[in-house]
Amino acid sequence: MPDLSHLAAVQESYDRVASAYVERVKTPAELDPLSRGMLDVFAETTRTAGLGPVGDLGCGPGRVTAYLAERNVPAFGIDLSPAMAGLARAAHPDLWFGVGSMTSLPIRDDALGGVLAYYSTHHTPPESLPLLFGEFHRTLAPGGSLMLAGHVGTGQHLRPTEAYGGHPVSYASYLLPPDRIAALLTGAGLALTARLVEEPAEGADRTYATFLARKPVLLRG
């Protein structure tokens, strides 16, 4: 069983920065057209498939969950941070938000038409990612879709001491190469359908990647 001690640092840090996070992080409407377009592709794919609700895992203040719901996608959110989930409920009272960990989701097998992990997996140590991606596979219905977006790199292990305007944090970030993330997804039984790597914008130092995948439908003879 992987060491899950990092979860306490992630929860405590995001509880501490929750209000500042809302003030500083872009809303979906403020994203660049390419990033917003990938969300729209995922929304259309899950809506037209009609296989079940979409779980926004690591939903933060619920803005992306609401973006999906505005596009007629039945969506709900789960976050490790009670403070983040509370902000999401307050801002979007018509949607459901709960507290939980992606390492052990309170969701039955094959229940979801889609899983969204939007900038929510980079605090997970690489050795624990198979557990997360296994949970994505377990909870997705056959034919269901995954969208994973986040920071990538060359294997950097970052340990910031403050974030979002100087608030103290104790989490770590792991910037893995896109090929390694893709291999871990396929190793969890998911079939990759698209991959987008965005080079850093002028003056920025982060590379971003988006992966689209699906849970294969097993054909019975």
The answer on pLDDT for 196 being more than 90 is: yes
Rounded-to-10 torsion of CA 71, 92, 124, 213: -10
| Residue 66 and residue 95 in contact, taking contact as beta carbons nearer than 8 Å | yes
pLDDT, tens only, 55-81: 999 999 999 999 999 999 999 999 999
pLDDT, tens only, 5-60: 999 999 999 999 999 999 999 999 999 899 999 999 999 999 999 999 999 999 99
- What DSSP string runs through 143-201? EEEEEEEEEE-SSEEE--SEETTTEE----EEE--HHHHHHHHHHTTPEEEEEEEEPPP
Q: Helices (H), strands (E): how many in the chain?
A: 6, 11
What the block records as the tokens of 97 is: 């938000």
* Alpha-carbon dihedral sign for residues 21, 26, 28, 31: negative
The answer on pLDDT for 205 being more than 80 is: no
Q: Which residues contact 205 (CB under 8 A, 6 or more apart)?
A: none
Helices assigned H by DSSP within 104-146: 129-139
pLDDT at 218: 82
List domains and CATH numbers for the chain: 6-214 (3.40.50.150)
Give the pLDDT band (50/70/90) at residue 3.
Answer: confident
**CA 103 – CA 135 distance, rounded (Å):** 7
pLDDT, tens only, 150-194: 999 999 999 999 999 999 999 999 999 999 999 999 999 999 999
What the block records as the tokens of 178 is: 């896109």
pLDDT at 186: 98
What the block records as the tokens of 106 is: 């309170």
pLDDT, tens only, 98-146: 999 999 999 999 999 999 999 999 999 999 999 999 999 999 999 999 9
Indicate the length of the chain as a whole number: 221
pLDDT at 204: 66
